[in-house]
Amino acid sequence: MTVLAEFYVFGKEADPNYLPWIVGSVIAGILALRILAGKWDRKRIAVELEESGCKLVSATWSPFGKGSFGEDNSRTYEVTYLNPEGETIYATVKTSLFTGVFWFGDGSPSRFAARTQTTVPSPPIAAEDEGCDCGKCGFFVQASYKHCPNCGTRRP
């Protein structure tokens, strides 16, 4: 039998009969990494949605979706989620291990984050209470307050 090539593994000549096992192991390792990357991506997307008060319904890998060309290390997903009011939102997301989550168009859940934050209501204004407008945000601050309840700036 004629040997067309010699294969070396860890500096020693390897038996050509082991080549299918080596190639199979490399392919299995690549597939395992891809599966783990998909799980990590979905977790990253879910965490970002939960921070905005939204809930992930589904995240489907879209290898040929919008924005999938031109970047080697990122993956594109078609995402369905519920906003804090319970409405279903469809969005396209690009993510990778080191770049975070990028939302295309107006599908970003960050627009709901402001709605879920609560502001401290100011107490009712008494007729004899003198106050002034905050110099930073314009919010009316009562005389009994030392700081603006809206932005926290110290009252003059």
Contacts of 120 (CB under 8 A, 6+ apart): 149
101 vs 17, residue with greater confidence: 101
CA 94/CA 133 separation, integer angstroms: 44
What's the CA gap between 64 and 77, in Å, rounded? 10
Beta-sheet strands, E only, within the chain: 7-9, 12-14, 55-61, 75-82, 88-96, 100-103, 131-133, 140-142
Q: Give the neighbor-by-neighbor strand order of the sheet with 55-61.
A: 55-61, 75-82, 88-96, 100-103
Structure tokens belonging to residue 43: 């977790």
Mean pLDDT (the chain, rounded): 77
Determine the pLDDT at residue 119: 55
Most confident residue range from 10-14, 52-56, 98-102, 132-136: 52-56
**pLDDT over 70, % of the chain:** 74
Q: For the segment 62-85, what is each residue's pLDDT rounded down to a tens digit?
A: 877 676 665 667 888 899 999 888
Distance CA(149)–CA(156), nearest Å, equals 14
pLDDT at residue 116 is higher than 50: no
Residues of the chain with pLDDT > 90, as a percent, come to 17
Mark 79-89 as b/e (b = at least 16 C-beta within 10 Å).
bebebeeeeeb
DSSP 3-state of 35 = helix
Question: How confident is the model at residue 68, as a pLDDT?
Answer: 61
pLDDT for 27: 95
**Which DSSP letter does residue 65 get?**
S
Q: Quick one: pLDDT at residue 29? A: 94
Give the largest Cα separation in the chain, rounded.
Answer: 106
